[in-house]
């Protein structure tokens, strides 16, 4: 395995909007993601989490700085190389329903992910069925439409669409925030299993620090578009250095499950530990 970090971000700045209405959303972000690691990115709404996620997968342009994937500087990469890289970095959105074409069956959507230029459901059906089976959906899902599925099932479909192209990196952007607690736990258990089975590198964006503590190896804390703290999960949670991180962790008495945006049942989200035992913060 190469010693080169799979993803390296240096002095990254991102502007949203156009002309005089543009706003700098990310400021001087530095981040190194090693292969096989799961990085949690946390912060309150408006901190820049989703902007960072979308910049990594190419949905936002870099204003200054660099994003290097597996040794390739994305801003200067030839289009053919960039297309190949983009397939290796897959994005799972917060709202899978809006990202699924209501006029296409699930099979057609996954076939297009496999081969955007010549999507053939007949040619790729076996591969699509296998991808759906990996997220606990049966072969009948291939010929059904997005509106026929529940929110949790649609999130599974979004995960299957990401996995069907055999990516190296998954960027999961608040993928459980719209789900009920029991469905959250199911999706997180699934994500943890798939990460381990496929050897995936993952960036996991979340409001929920309890989930981040269980699922992630490292954590990055964003505030107003800047990283204020980052490091191994055990170190940051046990001894936060930044006042903002400390306030986040101390917001719930007794170290209960913390969610910046909504309450979560601790017992449910902690079922995603997937065998990892970490010392609990006190």
- pTM for the full predicted model: 0.85
DSSP state of 259: B
For range 135-147, the mean pLDDT:
96
The predicted-structure confidence for 223-235, as pLDDT tens digits, reads as follows 999 999 999 999 9
Residue in the structure block whose two tokens are 């709202």: 95
Average pLDDT over residues 91-114: 90
pLDDT at 2: 59
- How confident is the model at residue 1, as a pLDDT? 52
Whole-number percent of the chain with pLDDT over 90: 56
pLDDT at 258 > cutoff 90: no
CA-nearest of 247, 240, 201 to 220 is 240
- Identify the weakest region by mean pLDDT among 8-12, 51-55, 118-122: 118-122
Helices (H), the chain: 49-56, 79-88, 96-99, 106-114, 121-134, 151-163, 181-198, 209-215, 233-238, 243-250, 266-269
**Domain positions in the chain:** 37-57+168-275, 87-167
Out of 205-209, 221-225, 277-281, least confident range: 277-281
- Is pLDDT of 78 > 90? no
Is the pLDDT reported for residue 253 higher than 70? no
Provide mean pLDDT across the span 129-158. Answer: 95
Taking only the tens place, the pLDDT of each residue in 23-51 is 999 999 999 999 999 999 999 888 999 99
Residue 114: count other Cβ atoms within 10 Å of its Cβ.
20
Q: What pLDDT digit, counting tens, does each position of 170-184 carry?
A: 999 998 877 888 888
Is the CA virtual torsion 176, 182, 187, 189 positive or negative? Answer: positive
CATH of 37-57+168-275, one of 3.50.50.60, 3.40.50.720, 3.20.20.80, 3.40.50.300: 3.40.50.300
Percent of residues, the chain, with pLDDT higher than 70: 88
Better-scored residue on pLDDT, 157 or 185: 157
Question: What is the rounded average pLDDT of the residues 86-97?
Answer: 88
């Amino acid at each position: 395995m190469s010693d080169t970090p799979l993803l390296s971000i240096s002095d990254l700045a991102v502007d949203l909007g156009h002309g005089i209405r543009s706003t700098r959303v990310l400021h001087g972000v530095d981040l190194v993601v090693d292969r096989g690691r799961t990085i949690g990115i946390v912060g309150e709404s408006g901190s820049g989490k989703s902007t960072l996620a979308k910049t990594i997968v190419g949905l936002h342009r870099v204003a200054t700085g660099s994003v290097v994937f597996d040794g390739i500087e994305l801003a200067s990469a030839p289009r053919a190389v960039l297309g190949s890289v983009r397939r290796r970095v897959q994005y799972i959105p917060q709202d899978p329903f809006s990202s699924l074409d209501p006029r296409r069956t699930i099979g057609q959507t996954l076939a297009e992910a496999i081969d955007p230029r010549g999507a053939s459901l007949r040619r790729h059906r076996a591969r699509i069925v296998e991808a759906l089976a990996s997220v606990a959906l049966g072969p009948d899902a291939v010929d059904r439409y997005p509106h026929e599925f529940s929110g949790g099932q649609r999130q599974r479909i979004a995960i299957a669409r990401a996995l069907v192209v055999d990516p190296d990196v998954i960027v999961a952007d608040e993928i459980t925030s719209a789900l009920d607690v029991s469905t959250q736990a199911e999706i997180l258990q699934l994500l943890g299993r798939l990460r381990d089975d496929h050897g995936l590198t993952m960036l996991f964006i979340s409001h929920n620090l309890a989930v981040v503590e269980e699922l992630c190896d490292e954590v990055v804390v964003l505030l107003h578009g800047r990283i204020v703290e980052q490091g191994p999960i055990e170190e940051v949670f046990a001894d936060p250095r930044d006042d903002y991180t400390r306030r986040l962790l101390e917001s719930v008495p007794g170290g209960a499950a913390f969610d910046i945006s909504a309450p979560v049942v601790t017992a449910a989200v902690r079922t995603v530990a997937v065998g990892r035992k970490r010392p609990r913060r006190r």
